[in-house]
Structure 1
């Protein structure tokens, strides 16, 4: 999947502008890079388009992951993207769904195994067949 398609998918799933989708994507990937082990970040980045690879850098540049829960993940994404919690949560779900489409199934499964149970609400929509973000 190329960069424009990735951003377009996030924009469609969040029903927002491309500019906001870029911000949500970057914020989610930066936060994900903090949450995953360094090796997993590099494996994930290798399957993404170059502009997204640049966002996914192990932070800090060590193997260990920063352990924080789903609420903190959403808060960090919201702060980075300059959006409220609901918009951030929708953005995170949309990025996870798009990541699942953009990388091999095994790579996405590896990412999911590093997430604790409290991430389930954000990750499970990406695991469903024909996953799409549904808004009430």
Structure 2
């Protein structure tokens, strides 16, 4: 009687080769990301807080509440329904250290806000970055 022996010697080398190829591809992708600078384009998020409330006549009052990056703040700009951007306040001398945007400063819109209008307030900083600090429908 003849016994057949199972030959499983080839299974382990095949799996080993597949794992080594996978590790090589992953390492190549990570190294390429660092070499080509793909990870360096990420901007840090600024911390600036504003609140917005409607007064009794429906004018929007935007108040600067604070945050760690208020000292770097150049201006706050507002758009209503995606229209033209309106600068609601800015520093006295652009790109200088002097800053008139202080915590507690409030700014009013020039026209009353109607129901359904979309308000967006964007903060502009000394490092030329900008960030939406308020996005609200009324």
Structures share fold, TM-score greater than 0.5: no
- TM-score (norm. length: structure 2): 0.25
Would you tell me which structure has more strand in proportion to its own residues?
A: 2
Would you tell me which structure has more helix in proportion to its own residues?
A: 1
| Higher RCO (Cα < 8 Å, 6 or more apart) | 1
Bigger Rg, structure 1 or 2: 2
